[in-house]
Amino acid sequence: MKKSIIITGGAGFIGSHVVRLFVNKYPEYRIINVDKLTYAGNLANLKDIEDKPNYRFVRADICDFDTIYALMQEEHVTGVIHLAAESHVDRSIKDPFTFARTNVMGTLSMLQAAKLYWEALPEKYEGKRFYHISTDEVYGALEIEHPEILFTEETKYNPHSPYSASKASSDHFVRAFHDTYGMPTIVTNCSNNYGPYQFPEKLIPLFINNIRHRKPLPVYGKGENVRDWLFVEDHARAIDIIFHKGVIAETYNIGGFNEWRNIDIIKTVIKTVDRLLGRPEGADLDLITFVTDRAGHDMRYAIDSRKLQRELGWEPSLQFEEGIERTVRWYLENQEWLDNITSGDYEKYYDDMYKNR
Ligand code: NAD
Ligand code: TYD
């Protein structure tokens, strides 16, 4: 059976890396990128592959069950890699409804469409796969005082933000579809990603852009919160391996064993930007501005990804220093991509482009 895969959220940060990897690596597959193009979706992320014969873009809302179901029938879909989501914690604090709608109801809509479509086929779930991409934030927060404790696949869910609560809920629905209907599902929970094409509301691209323009860098609280950073291409590679070799109904944690305090990562980013722009290294440290902490700010995330290493042979390929260097260089060399987003021009471009469709 020819593989025909819907990748949701393919115009976003991680999704665009996954789409690119699959389109280039598997010319024999059909890759259908389903994305609503919210503020976070940007087709400029996929310019290099948009004309490939095995690629199709469909602008659709994952909550629109009828459209998704019809697309599955039309494209004879055999697999789903589900990344579409509202993904920014600060936005979830201001607008939790949108997060529940897209992350919970949208995931349910994808599950139900796949279930109805696959169950009606003679071979039913054979050769099918529904792969849900989730976050380590569902596990809650770890303590700085206990660096030996990491999130494992057995860690109890304990989400604190509306974002992580909505992702936790979607994970439960995915597992419930396996347990109740026998749907071939897989869930992975990954740590913080960084790299090219990340929307500049997230820490690293926001700060690179601000440093370039010598704008203040708003550090929440004391900057002591810890995150475990993974280069986005390593995440995409893990998704490829897990989609093909992962065991149905299993959960895999994905992380870089790469914990950093925010303030340390910020100083590293500042020095890297300064060096690459030819400024004295550290000249922009004075941009650091401590601001009121994020409500409910999780202190520490850290992933134990040994199961994935042991069972499927994946491990991160990039040292953090090299990843940060590549990332900073990419944003500095792609200032136009950043400017389009920060000026809002790209949203107008899509509105014009799709107005008459
Ligand atoms: P992103 O915000 O950059 O992209 C999300 C994409 O989903 C956008 O293209 C957007 O247009 C699309 N989208 C949003 N709502 C939609 C809807 N209703 N219908 C169709 N498309 C819609 O997000 P990201 O950082 O690339 O994250 C992708 C996935 O990975 C999310 O599920 C997120 O929870 C998960 N994740 C992210 C990280 C991280 O560090 N960024 C870490 C672990 C897991
Ligand atoms: P973020 O990139 O929003 O990812 P997440 O909240 O999903 O981990 O933030 C990473 C860390 O950086 C987090 O501890 C919050 C902090 N942060 C700031 O201090 N200032 C900022 O302007 C942003 C966006 C984040």
Q: 328: how many CB neighbours lie within 10 A of its CB?
A: 26
Cα Rg, the chain, nearest whole Å: 20
Report the length, in residues, of the chain. 357
Q: Buried (b) or exposed (e) across 34-50, using 16+ Cβ within 10 A? A: bbbbbebbbbbbbeebe
Atom of ligand 1 nearest to the CA of 61: 19
- Give pLDDT tens digits for 94-104: 999 999 999 99
Helix (H, G, I), strand (E, B) or coil at 280: coil
User: What pLDDT does residue 346 have?
Assistant: 61
Q: Is 119 a catalytic residue?
A: no
Helix (H) or strand (E) holding 113: helix 107-119
State the pLDDT confidence band at 342, using cuts at 50, 70 and 90: confident
Ligand 1 touching residue 84 (CB < 6 A): yes
Q: Is 35 a catalytic residue?
A: no
- Give pLDDT tens digits for 206-235: 999 999 999 999 999 999 999 999 999 999
User: What pLDDT does residue 188 have?
Assistant: 99
User: Using CA positions, which residue lies closest to atom 25 of ligand 2?
Assistant: 203
CA 101 to centroid of ligand 2, rounded, Å? 23
Ligand 2 touching residue 200 (CB < 6 A): no
% of the chain surpassing 70 pLDDT: 96
Residue type for 122, please? P
Ligand 2 touching residue 218 (CB < 6 A): yes
Supply the angle between the helices 335-343 and 345-354 in degrees, to the nearest 10.
70
CA–CA distance, 132 with 75 (Å, rounded to integer): 20
Looking at the predicted structure, is the pLDDT value of residue 357 above 80?
A: no
User: What pLDDT does residue 354 have?
Assistant: 47
User: What pLDDT does residue 145 have?
Assistant: 97
- Phi, psi dihedrals of residue 250, rounded to the nearest 5°: -85, 160
- Give pLDDT tens digits for 232-273: 999 999 999 999 999 999 999 999 999 999 999 999 999 999
By most ligand atoms within 8 Å of CB, the mutation choice from 151, 160, 209, 220 for ligand 2 is 220
Looking at the predicted structure, is the pLDDT value of residue 356 above 50?
A: no
CATH architecture of the domain covering 4-194+229-257+299-319: 3-Layer(aba) Sandwich (3.40)
Residue type for 98, please? T
Ligand 2 touching residue 220 (CB < 6 A): yes
User: What pLDDT does residue 343 have?
Assistant: 72
Residue found under tokens 């259908």 = 32
Residue found under tokens 């071979």 = 123
User: Residue 240: exposed, middle, or buried by beta-carbon count in 10 A (0-12, 13-18, 19+)?
Assistant: middle
Span 181-194, average pLDDT: 98
State the pLDDT confidence band at 1, using cuts at 50, 70 and 90: confident
Q: Which ligand is nearest to the CA of 200?
A: 2
How many angstroms separate the Cα of 75 from the Cα of each of 55, 58, 109, 221?
Answer: 12, 12, 17, 49
- Please answer whether residues 223 and 263 qualify as being in contact, where contact means their C-beta atoms are separated by less than 8 angstroms: yes
- Give pLDDT tens digits for 260-308: 999 999 999 999 999 999 999 999 999 999 999 999 999 999 999 999 9
SS (H, E, C) 315-357: CCCCCHHHHHHHHHHHHHHCHHHHHHHHHCHHHHHHHHHHCCC
Ligand 1 touching residue 199 (CB < 6 A): yes
Ligand 2 touching residue 17 (CB < 6 A): no
- Give pLDDT tens digits for 127-141: 999 999 999 999 999
CA 10 to centroid of ligand 2, rounded, Å? 22
CA–CA distance, 289 with 211 (Å, rounded to integer): 12
Ligand 1 touching residue 35 (CB < 6 A): yes
User: What pLDDT does residue 345 have?
Assistant: 60
Helix (H, G, I), strand (E, B) or coil at 254: strand
Q: Whole-number mean pLDDT of the chain?
A: 96
Q: Which ligand is nearest to the CA of 227?
A: 2
User: Using CA positions, which residue lies closest to atom 10 of ligand 1?
Assistant: 41
For 138, the token pair is 């569902």
- DSSP bridge pairs for 288: 217
Looking at the predicted structure, is the pLDDT value of residue 165 above 60?
A: yes
- Please answer whether residues 134 and 187 qualify as being in contact, where contact means their C-beta atoms are separated by less than 8 angstroms: yes
- Give pLDDT tens digits for 142-164: 999 999 999 999 999 999 999 99
- Among 69, 117, 125, 163, the active-site one is 163
User: What pLDDT does residue 231 have?
Assistant: 98
- Phi, psi dihedrals of residue 84, rounded to the nearest 5°: -55, 130
Q: Is 163 a catalytic residue?
A: yes
